[in-house]
Amino acid sequence: MSDFYNEDSIVGDLPLWSDKEAMAVLDKIAEAHSVPIDVLTELVVLQRTRQHQERAAGIYQRIEEILGRMD
């Protein structure tokens, strides 16, 4: 498991990122659908950092930027 998932983001506490077997399943599914795991991670990080906000100002643009890296 990369340091990106634990140290540089806020997903290291999530079972999906901290459990090796769960991460292997996520990697397999992401690969089958041609979705880079870092894109999924960044979307989860975005959601977790914004979940306390009442308004989602600017979030759609940020989601588009993240998903745009898949092209």
Provide CB contacts within 8 A for 8, sequence distance 6+. Answer: none
- Identify the pLDDT of residue 26: 93
- Indicate the domain borders of the chain: 3-68
- In sign, the C-alpha dihedral spanning 14, 18, 19, 23 is positive
- Identify the pLDDT of residue 6: 45
Q: What is the pLDDT along the chain (71 residues), one digit of tens a residue?
A: 444 444 445 888 888 888 999 999 999 999 999 999 999 999 999 988 888 878 878 889 999 999 998 87
64 and 58 Cβ atoms separated by less than 8 Å: no
46 and 59 Cβ atoms separated by less than 8 Å: yes
